Each structure stands twice: as C-alpha cells, then as structure tokens.
Amino acid sequence: MSGSGYLSPVGASAAPLDWPPWIIWHVPHDATHIPEPWDADFLLDSEGLADELVRMTDHHTAVLFSAEDHPNSLCRAEVSRLLVDVERFPGDADEPMAERGMGAVYTHGSQRQRIRHPVGAITRRDLLDAFYWPHHKRLERLVEDRLSQHGRVLILDCHSFPSVRLPYELDGGEERPEICIGADAAHTPTELIATLKALFEAHGFSTAVNTPFAGALVPLRYYRQDLSVASVMIEVRRDLYIDEQTGTRLPSFDAIRTRIADVLSRGIYAGLKKFSP
C-alpha cells in the first residue's frame, strides 16, 4: 500500500498525521467493572477493593492512546483485570504470574495479599467462557480483517504502570522510565522499536525497551506463525497523567495525550515502512 498519507520528517512540528488503517488498539487493563454475581467472590471490603482497583488499573488508557477515537479498531476488555486478566495465558502452567496468584483469574493482588476465595475449576471455566475467550475472539476477528484488507496488521498494546514498583512485580527492576516500549523478538520489528524510542525521546520522554515490563501481545493463533502480525506494547508511567492515589486525570492529561498521539501516529508507519509481510 502507499504510505504517502503518513510520511513526515522526524521531529516535524505539524499536527499529528492520520493513523495507518492497519492498526488495532488493544486495551486490556483500563476497566474497573466487576459485575454481579462475581463481585461476591472477593474477600476485600468495598474500600479495600476500591484501593486495589486504583493500584491495578491502567486508568484512562483508551483515551490516552486515542483508542476511543477508533472504535472499529479497538479491542477493549469489558471487566477489571482483577476478575479476569485477558492478557495472561489461559492456563496457569503457561503463565509466569500464576505463581503469584495472578494468572488469568487472580486470587492475589498488588501487595501479594489474597483478594479472593479459592477459585474452583468450574468457576474458572465459567469466567474464561464469559470474559476471556470472547475478548480473544474479538481480537482475532480484528486481526483477520486487517490482514484481509491490508496484508499487515500492528497491534498497539496500550498500558500504564505505577511510578513505584509494586510488590507483585516479578523482576521489573527499579528503573521506571516515563515510557516503556515492550517488544516481542519475532513480532516487533527492530526498526519500529528504534523509531518509537527516538521519537519519544525527541518529545522529551525518558524511554526504555522491555523495562520495567516486557513483551507485546500476539493472539496465539498467529504467534510465531504469521509474521505479518506485528505488535508493540507502550506503557506510560502513571504519574505523568493521573493522580496515582485516586486514578483521576491530572491537568497534564491532554498535553501528554497529544504528545503520545504525535509520536505514535508518525512513528508507527515510519518504523514499519520496510515491513513486508
């Protein structure tokens, strides 16, 4: 396809350009909803659950990454990750975070505290059937559609992270850059990583790759099977745009959102211009 509508000099000060049509926004962790009757499974009282939602939610990321502006290209989790985390592997044997009680169905929280009654096999199956598998089917349908239309797709995996390491984190280290670029060795082109890193830094953000969080989501159907499916995770440090004690937006929110959109709308096409499925 022609990229004439997207090319721009690096560092140009013009308004953000159009987004490439082969992007899918994946927003897995910005929901706070825990519907009945599942809320009764939690051990926390209302205040404790509210506190845990503040700590564990990627607040406002659908807006921060301009995903809500593109509803036909958005795959967004409907429920809080405390209920079902759609970005974990479905089986605990495959999921590193399961040893901390934070596989696809959490039993423990950010402080490594128990937050839920033990989850039996039937309850786990019902939760995955209700929320996990429908989410991944939506994502697969979007990927299939973009591949059929454009022969390529980029999943933009949209996240945020706290400014201070939480006890549940496995090995994130103490470095907390303002922007973390998460990359997969097979599905994140090196030129895309380099382009985004350079543009974020040109826009004044401190940036690291796969620190403090690593990787980028690819549906299992395509993982290491179809390299025309590219993916990159972008994590924004929360103190840039929200009050971390409440999850409410700071006055800086709109400016940060604009800077991120400028980087991504320019950098994604430029970083994938040599990408040939």
DSSP per-residue letters across 137-149:
HHHHHHHHHHHHH
Residues 6+ apart with CB under 8 A from 136: 86, 219, 220
- Reduced to 3 states (helix: H, G, I; strand: E, B; else coil), residue 129 is helix
Angle at 77 (CA atoms; ends 21, 177), nearest 5 degrees? 75
Task: Compute, in degrees rounded to 10, the torsion defined by CA atoms 150, 135, 61, 91.
Answer: -110
Sheet with 23-27: list strands edge to edge: 74-76, 23-27, 153-161, 229-237, 179-182, 207-209
CA neighbor of 255 nearest in space, from 235, 234, 242, 241: 241
- Reduced to 3 states (helix: H, G, I; strand: E, B; else coil), residue 76 is strand
Cβ-contact 234, 152 below 8 angstroms:
no
What pLDDT tens digit does each residue of the chain (277 aa) get? 223 222 233 333 344 457 999 999 999 999 999 999 999 999 999 999 999 999 999 999 999 999 999 999 999 999 999 999 999 999 999 999 999 999 999 999 999 999 999 999 999 999 999 999 999 999 999 999 999 999 999 999 999 999 999 999 987 567 799 999 999 999 999 999 999 999 999 999 999 999 999 999 999 999 999 999 999 999 999 999 999 999 999 999 999 999 999 999 999 988 887 555 4
Residues 6+ apart with CB under 8 A from 203: 259, 262, 263
Could you tell me the pTM of the whole model?
0.91
182: enclosing H helix or E strand: strand 179-182
Angle at which helix 190-202 crosses helix 253-271, to 10 degrees, equals 150
180: enclosing H helix or E strand: strand 179-182
CA distance 275 to 277: 6
Whole-number pLDDT of residue 17: 53
Distance of CA 50 to the CA centre of its chain: 21
CA distance 193 to 215: 12
* β pairing state of 229-237 and 153-161: parallel
Cβ-contact 48, 36 below 8 angstroms:
no
Whole-number pLDDT of residue 4: 26
* 151 token code pair: 């022969």
* 84 token code pair: 């079902």
